[in-house]
Amino acid sequence: MPDPTPKRKLPQDLKSLARAYTTLSVDCLSGIAQAGTSEAARVTAAIALLDRGWGKPNQPTENKIEGKVEIVLRDIAVELTKKKTP
């Protein structure tokens, strides 16, 4: 199911401005991961660094559908054609 929350696009210059802080942010996170005042802060910073550097790990999903699954696209195409016709 698609996310119903509308996503606002960030202006390109805002993205560029935020990316200018990449080195500072990584340095900050690595400092927290190494010498944070709490274990929770160190773990959270370490996870953030790993996720950015290596990507988030895949989450296994469980499929509870039994039997054959068939997707019929022609029905969708017919419905779309009907909507376009006056």
> Whole-number mean pLDDT of the chain?
82
The pLDDT, as a whole number, for residue 31 is 96
**What spatial distance separates the first Cα and last Cα of the chain, rounded to whole Å?**
30
In a domain, 5, yes or no: no
In a domain, 23, yes or no: yes
Mean pLDDT of 27-47: 95
The answer to whether the beta carbons of residues 33 and 45 sit under 8 Å apart is: yes
Contacts of 30 (CB under 8 A, 6+ apart): 45, 49
In a domain, 44, yes or no: yes
In a domain, 17, yes or no: yes
Read off the pLDDT of residues 15-34 as tens digits, 9 standing for 90 and up.
888 889 999 999 999 999 99
Instruction: Give the global pTM.
Output: 0.53
Q: Is 13 a residue whose pLDDT tops 70?
A: yes
The pLDDT, as a whole number, for residue 79 is 67
Number of domains in the chain: 1
Nearest-angstrom CA–CA distance, 1 and 4: 9
In a domain, 65, yes or no: no
